[in-house]
Structure 1
Amino acid sequence: MIRTPASGGDFGRLRTEFALPESFGPEVLAEAEAAVLSARAEGREDATDLPFVTIDPPGAKDLDQAMVVERTAGGFRVHYAIADLAAFVPPGGALDHEARRRGQTLYLPDGNVPLHPTVLSEGAASLLPGEIRAAVLWTIDVDAAGEPVATHVRRALVRSTEQLDYESVQASLDAGTPHPSVAALPELGRLRRELAVQRGAVELQLPEQEISGNPDGGWALARRPRTAVDAWNAEISLLTGMAAAQIMIEARVGVLRTLPPPEPDAVEWLRRSASVVGVAWPAGLGVSEFLSSLDPEQPSSMAIFADTTRLLRGAGYTSFDGSMPALTTHAGIGGAYAHVTAPIRRLVDRFGTEVCLAVTAGREVPSWVREALAEVPLQMSASDSLAARVERACIDQVEAWVLAERVGREFTAVVLRAEETRAEILVENPPVMAKCTGSNFPEGERIGVRLTAVDVDKRKVSFERV
């Protein structure tokens, strides 16, 4: 980890550049406050006896999900409580309109730009420990092989007993002292991971850059540690999203997260990339099986994962009502999938959840949900694009701050992609993704590079091969 000097700066200029909203209007805040005061518990199942826990990054306050994973005689039972935002957002009101405009929460190192006012996102709607909360409760029974056999969705009251984080859960599992509510998570998580490979799911395991503040006012840049718990936790969300997609498809109404199958040329390109870096790809082994066999810490694997992004192009949102779309699956997941597990942070989840609640209860999908289905794909695509650009700009800015006083120094880097006179590299310490000039770049190998220039204002860093 390398830190910026205390004068590293904040992200105010970036917020201005992307025209990010600074606050909510008074009518939105008033509606949110009124929704908190008028929230009712009638008509909800009382599930407060279930010992739910949340697993989130340390310090998180916008807690969408809480879980209990149980072993059963035939396999597992997953209780997955999701924050019930529809209980606080009147359709067609100021709060609804503003959420549709924003699309999702944007995360910046110096503070979030939330989808909903914090009185909801970090207060009344958040599944904070010790608090009774309105939730949409998914109960999914899974057989001994990890396949779902029954799904029950309803509104409920829940209470999280403890707020956990990934590293502490991993440490407790490694020590043999897991929290009882997630003691069965590793076994189920592994089964679901195996099924994902069998489905042909494609997972990128490129190193993730993480920004954090430090006491002197600067910023720290490091590689985010990836634990097995991260993957197992994600599998619970994916299990729920796939169950939601099946409900929507059978009812012929809903909104799916979709991704077309990769073009044959993209797969061939990946095979050539594996050959270039000297990694054997056995005949008959599918893409998912091959990628799952790689050690993500090896430089050659990093180069292959960088090229795997070619297989995951064209993701979008597909809504339908009556007639089925041509594409209903997500190639990266290996099946049909819908977003329903993060409504505090993502707009589309609120509408997808309402579809599932109505269909499973034998009711008509509300008209305000049907009306929204036509617009939500464009709203989400726009917010996804903005979120990606903001995240990249934040990382670029911190990279420039971190390296500003190190021009002329040499570093070790992994070559991810190579062209004739330049390459895309991953500097290992600090973890910086950048372009590098030179020649004869060996993909998937470590090389020496020299930092030649840093432009803090333009968020640009330049390297050359030593």
Structure 2
Amino acid sequence: MPHPRVVLAPTDADVPQGSLEALRDRFEAVRAELDLSLEYPADALAEAQQVAASPPSLPERDETDLPFFTIDPPGSMDLDQAMHLERDGDGHRIRYAIADVPAFVVPGGALDRVTRERGQTVYCPDVRVPLHPEVLSEDAASLLPDVVRPAFVWDLRLDGEGVITAAEVHRAMVRSVERLDYDTVQAAVDAGTDDDRFLMLREIGRRRIAQEKARGGASLPMPEQQVRQREDGGFSLEFRPPVAAEEWNAQISLATGMAAATMMVDAGIGILRTMPAPTEDALARFRRAARGLGVEWPEGQSYGDLVRALDRTDPRHLALIHEATTLFRGAGYTAFDGPAPDEREHAAVAAPYAHVTAPLRRLVDRFALVVCEAVSRGDQVPDEIRAALPGVPELMAASDRLARSAERACADATEAALLHGREGETLRAVVVDHAEKGMDVQLVDVPVLARVTGERAALGSEVEVRLERADVAAGQVVLVRA
């Protein structure tokens, strides 16, 4: 019997006007429950204002003649990365400028203390809880267009297949000449642009994706659920698939992270982003799930190639994507000073990898960048960085847990706000996962993922559920089998 085909949720849905006040109250309550303060400590804020006006450590090298450009979500002000691309024979040369946060943070100062406590920027739908004060993250340290900024400039050489043949990093003053967003770049490419920057970005991205496949890397096409604040002050819940330009851009960041990891491993000091390979038992369970859902998995095909080809609009594939999350667990940070750790790879990248491209928003990148720049220069890693490295993994683990909790709680509240007032309605859903006391479903008509208690149905099957309760203040949706 052919499997039924259903049309899954639209890309977004607006929260009804009558639920907005309760939703905003819930966002504030989530931050209070998690002790996420929007107020920056006075001593750290004063220090940030001082160093923004007079940075204590600016690079002497000047690369402001290179026309860097940035690609970020629309409206972003905390711009960590800017790029300059050029052809190099049948390959490419990438200059990737990363915000020089260490130029502003004095080791042992108040700003250093608070950023270690915070770990990363936490994004709530209505506000951000920033790692750094806005005077730095959205101004003095941000790679905004038409201003001169300090940066760590990664200089990467790629051959005609997209393989990195050389990599170094140095500090320099740079200038971005244009701020772009993913949709603008994608639209230009789709329209047949002759802007060689965009054409090179596509070439590099495609070549790096081919390299990822060849390494056995895996990219999980999980529908990304996002709560977005609209210009009118309302909120939308959406499943947002990335456009190709976003993936091409991500490949440049991944290439930089891989180059950084190799540099640190060779030097015997640094901090890696690691994730263990899936166990044989996990792969066996995933293969059984694929078989049960009728998804063909040819012998010899890697799990990475399989999940990369899954279709988020097919209920069976969607269920298998959710099952695949069990293969992508255990990510963490591994610091070392001496021989590199035995477990040094990130399984999804299928290579050693490090976070070095988002220092405005993530603490670990600040330390890793300083390590790499010292190694590239052939110098000793500063003592204060060496001393700090062992404690960074736990700081990041704690902030990761906090960020995930905030994101999930805000999404739960938005789901409740979206469904509030529809209690008693019967809704169509697709079963995407099994839980201990029920199952997880994705609603067909709205972008909501929720738990249904009681009797399970087959993965990938369409079921009808009844909305019993949508409590915005508790961030809770209660569904039962219809």
Q: TM-score range by the shorter chain?
A: over 0.9
- Tell whether 2:109 aligns with 1:93: yes
Residue 8 (structure 1) aligns with = 20
Q: Secondary structure of 1:256's partner?
A: strand
1:76-112 Cα distance to aligned partner (Å, 9 max, x none):
1111100000000001100000000000000011110
How far apart, in 2, do the equivalents of 1:303 and 1:191 lie? 30
CA contact (8 A) 1:242 1:335 kept: yes
Change over 3 Å in CA distance of 1:175–1:311 after alignment to 2: same
C-alpha displacement of 1:179: 4.3
- Asked if 1:21 corresponds to 2:37, the answer is yes
Q: Which residue of 1 aligns with 2:4?
A: none
Partner of 2:171 in structure 1? Answer: 155
Q: CA, structure 1 residues 102+440, in 2 after alignment: closer, same or farther (shift >3 Å)? A: closer
For the residues of structure 1 that align with 2:452 and 2:180, how far apart are their CA atoms?
Answer: 40
**Cα distance between partner residues in 2 of 1:144 and 1:316:** 33
* Alignment correspondent of 1:243: 259
2:9 maps to: none
Is 1:310 aligned to residue 326 of structure 2? Answer: yes
Report if the CA contact (8 A) 1:169-1:178 is conserved: no
Taking only aligned residues, the RMSD between alpha carbons, in angstroms, comes to 1.7
Structure 1: which amino acid aligns with 2:243? T
Task: Supply the AA of the counterpart residue of 1:198.
Answer: A
Q: Which residue of 2 aligns with 1:191?
A: 207
CA separation of 1:363 and 1:216: change in aligned 2, threshold 3 A: closer
Q: Select which of 407, 412, 419 maps to 1:391.
A: 407
Structure 1 residue 421: deviation in Å?
6.6
Give, in whole Å, the separation in 2 of the partners of 1:171 and 1:310.
35
SS in 1 for 2:351: coil
- Read off the aligned partner of 1:396 and give its amino acid letter: D
The answer to whether the aligner puts 1:81 opposite 2:92 as a matched pair is: no
The alpha carbon displacement at 1:217 in A equals: 4.0
Larger CA deviation: 433-442 vs 189-198? 433-442
Equivalent of 2:384 in 365, 368, 375: 368
Q: How far 1:204 sits from its partner (Å)? A: 1.5
Task: Say whether residues 1:448 and 2:464 are aligned partners.
Answer: yes
DSSP-derived class of the 2:408 partner: helix
* Cα deviation, residue 418, structure 1: 3.2
Q: Partners in 1 of 2:456 and 2:118 — Cα distance?
A: 45
Q: Quote the residue 1:381 is aligned against.
A: 397
Matches within 5 A, 1:238-277: 238-277=254-293
Query: 2:194, 2:471 → 1: CA distance?
Result: 47
Match of 1:135 in 2: 151
Deviation of 1:448 (Å): 2.9
For 1:224-235, what aligned pairs fall within 5 Å after superposition?
224-235=240-251
Task: State the 1:42 CA deviation.
Answer: 5.8
Mark the runs of 5 or more structure 2 residues left unpaired by the alignment: 1-11
Is 1:39 matched up with 2:51?
Answer: no
Within-5 A mapping of 1:56-71: 56-71=72-87
TM-score by length of 1: 0.96
Aligned length: 466
- Hey, what's the Cα distance between the residues in 2 that align with 1:254 and 1:264? 30
AA at the equivalent of 2:179: Q
Q: Contact conserved, 2:57 with 2:104, CA < 8 A, in 1?
A: no
Range 278-287 or range 212-221, more displaced? 212-221
Deviation at 1:428, TM superposition (A): 3.2
Which range is displaced more, 428-437 or 228-237? 428-437
1:293-323 Cα offsets, whole Å, 9 max, x none, are 2223322221111111111221111000013
**Distance 1:225-1:372 versus aligned 2 partners, 3 A rule:** same
Q: Which amino acid aligns with 2:474?
A: K
- Could you tell me which amino acid in structure 2 is paired with residue 44 of structure 1? E
Q: Which amino acid aligns with 2:151?
A: A
Structure-1 separation of matches of 2:58 and 2:433: 57
Aligned match of 2:185: 169
Q: 8 Å contact 1:52–1:181 — kept in the other structure?
A: no
Amino acid at match of 1:5: P
Among candidates 427, 439, 447, match of residue 431 of structure 1: 447
In 2, the alpha carbon distance for the partners of 1:216 and 1:39 equals 38
Contact 2:431 2:442 in 1 (8 A): yes
**1:457 corresponds to 2:468:** no
Q: 1:315 to 1:42 in 2, by over 3 A?
A: closer
Please give the secondary structure, in 2, of the residue aligned with 1:184.
helix
Gap runs ≥5 in structure 1: none
Alpha-carbon distance, 1:131 to partner: 1.1
Note the alpha carbon deviations across 1:137-185, whole angstroms, 9 max, x for none: 0010001111100112100111111111111111111011264433211
SS at match of 2:93: strand
Rounded Cα–Cα distance in structure 2 between residues aligned with 1:458 and 1:268: 38
Report the alpha carbon displacement of residue 462 of structure 1 after superposing the two structures with TM. 1.8
User: Contact conserved, 1:201 with 1:288, CA < 8 A, in 2?
Assistant: yes
**Conserved 8 A contact 1:197-1:292:** no
Superposed, which structure 2 residues align to 1:111-122 within 5 Å? 111-122=127-138
- Partners of 1:67 and 1:157 in 2: CA distance: 13
Contact 1:69 1:182 in 2 (8 A): no
